[in-house]
Structure 1
């Protein structure tokens, strides 16, 4: 089930229709309080979140979600009219998995949904058997990931910067003037070097360790 949180009734209705045509099960609410009520009773596979919500903002909702053990793993896609880099960085810092600015391409959103569903399944499997794995390339100190001796190529650094502000693979490929496959390789290498498995983890640790450049 996908939970859509947006105070624009027309937008909620249109997005619900599009996603149901892709055979997704959809629930919609207009504010964060209604969303919390649903979360106490059933857990969605993905949350689609607007940032400019009444009373409790999307940022506040996202922060609370990530701080609650039984909800922290739920993938979140931000769909917002806020398109400044600082807005993207704040959302990624709080734990969103993807960020699209309105208006957006519905095919890109659907692609992101399928990708996050695959990653979510893999994450829950890894969580269950986490004692079998050892973290490499960084150590954890009070939930702070400290990286040592990490060297990035210029293309990897530019890719990391663009991922941090919310650009998707196709956009990064155009900016760097390379193929999508090359971007996938850069991101895969970044995942390996930072010892992570998702963009959210990558952005969080990169920001913590000041690996973002201008």
Structure 2
């Protein structure tokens, strides 16, 4: 399988690329800086912007699925830190991506959102709901809402994963999937576990037209 990874230079995207390569995939990665990723004989690194249709079009050529780990990033992990990326980065990218996927005959899309978006808001701890409303995290959550709406309204074979708090633990754990009802999600999941499950989802056609919360058992 040959896939396009958007957000491949980010902390989750790098794990998606690594897990995909370990699974024997061929990977296209569209990044702002080619030097942000290590070379690999099955990795094609394309320098450009996901907000430019011509760059997306080029990156999609020859692929059969797309994984987006894009997020509205801040200058630091401090929740009130200023934004580093446009506040509509994800939705603007998805808005261009969907018709381009149709044009290329690509139907499979997996996008990373966040627990607490849409109908998963009831699973959020009260303190975190307050933080979303009162800090700069709100920009990412608002754009997750916009991108999810665009994806759900498409005719693609889509999956939207809503991970709980992401950690940098270098361990693959068993995942827990929460739909519209239980089991209650745990509080964290490692980026590597999420990435591993995304690749497993591509290999086994999991969770079409679903947007579950994903955490660890």
Normalising by structure 1, what TM-score?
0.45
Normalising by structure 2, what TM-score?
0.44
More strand per residue? 2
Relative contact order, higher structure (CA 8 A, sep 6+): 2
More helix per residue? 1
